[in-house]
Chains A and B, each alone.
Chain A
């Protein structure tokens, strides 16, 4: 006690801060960082979960480099990212921009947009899966058929399947992004718009010169957040293609699904760990690149 009372105020604050931080730090260390570190080690080993771990150096990475499925999955993952992120950004901005101007039923509409975000991804994936079925079951094909358009193979086509799986993922995240955008829009002082009105500039100039530049921090947040989401896409894909996860012909398989497959169906832990390390590097590089591109000057 004597020791404690001799500390300066600053030191006492640090002692208390560490007292409260100790548990979460311990938790993160054991539950998060230790396995992460282990994953790096395992990526250089061969291990079937039960047997001995044998050191094989870079073999897993070489195998990955020469694996055509990995490259297909790699391209798929980036397709999810490069279509999903801009699409959801533009859609959520347009919705938020207009919803912000609306008074009538504002709260109700906002709730409708936010609802999918709260819904279980599994339940949602199965509902969309039903939407996509052939006539006479699927909603979309029934609608198309009723206006005389031939039915589309949504989930059974190698070209249509990826966008078809992506659509509910975009839709699910939209509500959250709309809320964030609305908060960003509300934070812009009204007098900026009034000043622009007096200066007589058009809505396009207001949008591109005032609104969007002032939303930069919001946009950075949403881009980084949704990019990470799309790079880690799994549950929508897994649940919409359960009979043949990632199919048809790996056309919808993202990296996380490949890791799952390798680890828990193939029990090839070393190879799965190497894929995890690659995913980690992709996430890291993409996030850093976005932060750098969208940095404020």
Chain B
């Protein structure tokens, strides 16, 4: 049984529809990440699940109840905000206890529950402090603690890591993942950072312009993107797209180069040939795709990214970290045909 379902969910502000019918089933205990560029509707969807935004049409189902008209407190959810929303004038303990204020638990049970949560989050020694005395990561934990005390059916996270510096973000990412493995509640996590999505999610929901583009495991969305948008959004650096035309024997690129692909179904169709920088190398064992001049090198240590100016525009490829080609060198880049993706040039849909 699905723990959370969205059915044909739409949202409109006055005449402008910003969400166009979202359908999603989330299993109990799943870690779902909504990811997409700003304005794609991911936060709006989350706020509709929370009950902070009215549903225009469609249904939000939590457990087996349609919660469209229930107050946030009646939905059995808890939420962690981007700016944490922890109260500066209350101690850590009072902040966490605030989550239990409306609960009918006895005072003793509340105390026990707060201690338990503080224990799990490793902040028993911080309970008497004020938020101003805490570091960014600790404040984040307080916000999570306040959500956890209520033991909700669904946890909602609204870009909770974007206020942290890069190092702390990586650390909190790991902590939240471990926490999920330990407590096992369903989590809906919103982010614009595809790395967070890839590293944390059981399943990723990629959104754009109020539509779901693809729902799948990190591996699925990376290896078999449903369309050109997903292909370019997931993975860093972004997938290279080379315009070409299917001609029965494969794809004929703009440069005139004929590329044999494993999936050749149609002919005379304009396509985009997608290849990830990771799969595009100087190694000549694959099939030659493009040639061009190296314009920029980005050494990353183990490998070096090279930007190559080709007839089809600039492409990014991966080179060895120790002996990358110099800027200005003419290079030939090739890829394994199995790692090449084809997309419809008109609507971006993946061609099987």
Mark A residues whose CB is within 8 Å of B: 189, 191-192, 194-202, 205, 209-210, 213-214, 216
Contacts and interface: CB of A to CB of B under 8 A. Distances in A.
The 3 closest A-B CB pairs, nearest first, are: A200-B73, A200-B102, A195-B85
Given A191-B85, A194-B52, A200 B79 contact: no
Contacts of B81: 191, 194-195
B101 A198 contact: no
Nearest to A192: B85
A201 to B, nearest CB: 5
B99 A199 contact: yes
Question: Which secondary structure characterizes the binding site on chain A?
Answer: helix
Given A199-B73, A200-B71, A194 B85 contact: yes
A216 B74 CA distance: 32
B101 A189 contact: no
Contacts, number: 59
Interface string B74-90: 10011101110101111
Given A195-B81, A197-B72, A198-B79, A210 B87 contact: yes
B114 to A, nearest CB: 14
Given A198-B50, A198-B78, A199-B99, A192 B73 contact: no
B98 interface: yes
A194 B78 CA distance: 11
Nearest to B143: A195
Given A192-B87, A210-B87, A214-B89, A198 B77 contact: yes
13 contacts: A189-B83, A189-B85, A194-B52, A195-B81, A197-B52, A199-B99, A199-B101, A199-B102, A199-B150, A201-B98, A202-B102, A205-B101, A213-B89
Nearest to B100: A199
Nearest to A296: B89
Contacts of B72: 197-198, 200
Interface string B37-60: 000000000000011100000000
B73 A191 contact: no
B73 A195 contact: no
Contacts of B79: 194-195, 198
